[in-house]
């Protein structure tokens, strides 16, 4: 395990100031409903505006609209999540689908997808989980059968966040019986004939969670991502992009800020010591995420470090929600006119899912222990 202390450079601090100012102008308080981190609202116009500033797809190759570093991306994302910005439309494409295509795609795929992603005009969903394949992802059964010019896909994906608004689903399908060697990633146009997207109502009443049925959907050869049979390795690399970022501990940031600023003056000493502890832990997670981003920029693959951050940070987020709920003094109302009260009510309902999405804590602990034993 290797997490080295690091700070932002002067140029990175300038970027931070610039992003912060832009967000303050573009999203004045009251102009939007703050969200819980990556589950922020879906606002295609906001994503386009952000893309036009060059702040989506930052780590993609320069010729496709990127050219920045993982640290630059961390800075932008941190500022967005601090206010609960409406990042829902571009989130998945920016965080993982774009980088996956950049790493494994053909020139044609890069030219087709990456500029659209960087411009905030193309949305992606993650098609990994199935009814009997969650933690055990190698159990994927949805099958792609080769035909003339492409593949016919049949099966069901579940818990596919945002599939109802996504333009594409980057999905893992079985192309042979070999458990891991028989998996392949496909870039599937969500509007293809034979796809049915059925939203599943989440515990807070939102309907971003979906079941996606593929009924003999034709996917052309040109939309196989990487090599046939390489899906497991590509998928594993993609998952590490999901895990080490600031999004794993910043879901609660707008709530923490409101809690701190509204209660500090009159609060008892116990409140101040809890807030102090939370602030210190936030800073520790920030330092870890920054260190992971520096490792990525140095060409390293921080799989264990990312898993470790997610395991610890998502438990921390849940503890923050419990603390704020205890201090709130009554049950917060999901339908309150105060956007922060309704956000706290939502956080209480959905925070149990934070240690499940992106890989459960038990699975992350398995990854960490196996990898450390191997090293």
Residues that bind ligand FAD (CB under 6 A): 125-129, 134-135, 159-161, 353, 356-357, 359-360, 362-363, 366
CB of 132 to ligand FAD, least distance (A): 8
CB of 74 to ligand FAD, least distance (A): 22
CB of 263 to ligand FAD, least distance (A): 29
Nearer to ligand FAD, 96 or 291 (CB): 96
Nearer to ligand FAD, 71 or 225 (CB): 225
Nearer to ligand FAD, 51 or 127 (CB): 127
Nearer to ligand FAD, 91 or 113 (CB): 91
CB of 353 to ligand FAD, least distance (A): 4
Nearer to ligand FAD, 64 or 159 (CB): 159
Q: How, if at all, do strands 168-174 and 124-127 pair?
A: parallel
CB of 171 to ligand FAD, least distance (A): 8
CB of 34 to ligand FAD, least distance (A): 18
Nearer to ligand FAD, 18 or 167 (CB): 167
* Residue facing ligand FAD at closest CB distance: 134
């Amino acid at each position: 395990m290797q997490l080295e202390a690091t700070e932002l450079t002067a140029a990175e601090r300038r970027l931070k100031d610039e992003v912060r100012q832009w967000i303050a102008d573009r999203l004045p308080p009251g102009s939007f409903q703050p969200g819980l981190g990556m589950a922020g609202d879906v606002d295609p116009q906001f994503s386009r505006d952000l893309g036009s500033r060059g702040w989506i797809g930052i780590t993609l190759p320069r010729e496709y609209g990127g050219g920045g570093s993982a640290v630059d991306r961390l800075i932008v994302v941190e500022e967005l999540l601090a206010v609960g910005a409406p990042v829902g439309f571009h989130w998945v494409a920016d965080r993982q689908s774009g980088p996956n295509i950049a790493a494994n795609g053909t020139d044609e795929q890069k030219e087709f997808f990456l500029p659209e992603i960087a411009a905030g005009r193309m949305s992606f969903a993650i098609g990994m989980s199935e009814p009997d394949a969650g933690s055990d992802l190698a159990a994927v059964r949805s099958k792609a059968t080769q035909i003339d010019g492409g593949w016919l896909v049949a099966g069901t994906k579940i818990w596919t966040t945002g599939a109802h608004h996504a333009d594409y689903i980057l999905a893992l399908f079985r192309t042979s019986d070999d458990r891991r060697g028989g998996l392949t990633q496909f870039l599937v146009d969500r509007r293809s004939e034979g796809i049915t997207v059925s939203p599943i109502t989440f515990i807070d009443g939102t309907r971003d969670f979906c079941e996606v049925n593929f009924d003999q959907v034709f996917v052309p050869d040109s939309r196989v991502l990487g090599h046939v049979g390489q899906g497991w390795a590509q998928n594993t690399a993609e998952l590490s992009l999901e895990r080490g970022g600031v999004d794993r501990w910043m879901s609660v940031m707008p709530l923490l800020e409101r809690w701190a600023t509204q209660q500090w003056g009159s609060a008892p000493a116990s409140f101040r010591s809890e807030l102090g502890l939370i602030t210190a832990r936030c800073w520790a997670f920030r330092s870890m995420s920054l260190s992971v981003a520096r490792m990525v920029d140095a060409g390293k693959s921080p799989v264990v470090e990312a898993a470790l951050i997610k395991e610890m940070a998502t438990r921390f987020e849940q503890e923050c929600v419990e603390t704020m709920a205890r201090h709130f003094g009554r049950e917060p109302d999901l339908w309150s006119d105060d956007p922060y009260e309704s956000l706290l009510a939502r956080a209480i309902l959905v925070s149990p899912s934070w240690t499940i999405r992106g890989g459960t804590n038990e699975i992350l602990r398995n990854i960490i222990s196996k990898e450390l034993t191997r090293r």
